[in-house]
Amino acid sequence: MPPTVNVSERPVEIPADGFVLDADLVVPAGALGVVVFAHGSGSSRHSARNRAVARVLQQSRFATLLMDLLTPTEERLDEHTRHLRFDIALLADRLVIATDWVSAQPALAGLPVGYFGASTGGGAALVAAAERPDRVRAVVSRGSRPDLAGAALAQVRAPTLLLVGGHDEEVLALNERARVQMPGLVELTVVPGATHLFEEPGTLEQVAHLAAAWFLTHLTRRHPGAAPRDTISC
C-alpha cells in the first residue's frame, strides 16, 4: 500500500472557444503524471465512483483532473434530450481541450497524461487518445463502451487497460470485440462478481488499485516501438 500523501483539491476553469469547463484539480507533491477523468453518461466531475478512484491515484502520486465534459447549459439541455452524453466526438473534443490545457500549465506541463474513462467516457477517452498520441501515454476504462470509439480504436497507441465486471456480460462482450481492433498494448481484466457500476463490496477498490498499478507501469515511461500484444485476465 502506498504511503499516505497529503493532497488538496482546487477548482479550475478550462477555457475553450466561447465556453468554460469546470474541473477539480489535485496535484500531490512529486507528481508522476496527470490522470484526466472522463465520466459516464449522465454523470459529472462529482461522480462518487470516479472520486474514489482518484483518491487512490493521488495516494500513488498522480495528479488528477475531474472535469465536467458539458457546460451547465448543455447539461440542462441533456437532462431532457439525453443526446449529448452519447455524442462521443463532442466528449472526446472536450478531453483534447483539457489535455492541451494541462500541457500549458507550468506545474503540469512536463508530466505525462493518462485518461480514466467510465461508461461512455471510456469511448471518448479512446478517441481523444488517438488524437493526442504524443501526449496521452496510458488509458484505463471502467465498465466502458470502447466500441463507441469506432474507427479510432485502430489508431490508439497508448497502453490500455479495459476493466469490466464479471456479471456485466453485454459490456464484457463489447470490450472483447473492441480489444481485438486495437493495435497497441491492451489488456482486458474481468473483476469477478462485479456488475456494471461496481457496487459490490470491494470491487471498486479493485478497480482503483488496478488502475494505479497500470498507470505506475505505463504512464511513467514511454513504450517506443512496443510490440502489439493483448491479454485477458481475471
Mean pLDDT by runs of 10 across the 234 residues of the chain is 66 91 94 92 77 96 93 74 77 95 92 95 96 97 94 97 97 96 96 94 97 96 43 45
The CA distance from 129 to 94, in Å, is 12
Instruction: Assess if residue 1 is contained within a domain.
Output: no
Quick one: pLDDT at residue 112?
96
CATH number of the domain bearing residue 130: 3.40.50.1820
29-53 CB burial, b ≥16 within 10 A, e <16: eebbbbbbbbbbeebebebebbeeb
pTM of the model: 0.89
Instruction: Assess if residue 2 is contained within a domain.
Output: no
Look up residue 90 and give its DSSP letter: H
Quick one: pLDDT at residue 24?
95
Quick one: pLDDT at residue 224?
39
Instruction: Assess if residue 227 is contained within a domain.
Output: yes
- Domain containing 28: what range? 9-233
Quick one: pLDDT at residue 3?
54
Quick one: pLDDT at residue 117?
95
Find, among 169, 106, 111, 119, the residue nearest to 135 by Cα: 111
Instruction: Assess if residue 142 is contained within a domain.
Output: yes
Specify whether the CB–CB gap between 96 and 132 falls below 8 A: yes
Integer angstrom CA distances of residue 59 from 16, 49, 53, 129:
30, 16, 10, 24
What cell was used for 232? 485477458
Query: At 121, which amino acid appears?
Result: G
Q: Is 202 exposed, middle or buried (0-12, 13-18, 19+ CB in 10 A)?
A: exposed
Instruction: Assess if residue 4 is contained within a domain.
Output: no
Tally of structural domains, the chain: 1
Q: What angle do CA 166, 190, 31 make, to 5 degrees?
A: 130
What cell was used for 152? 479510432
What cell was used for 19? 465556453
Residue position matching grid coordinates 466526438: 89
Find, among 120, 227, 118, the residue nearest to 183 by Cα: 227
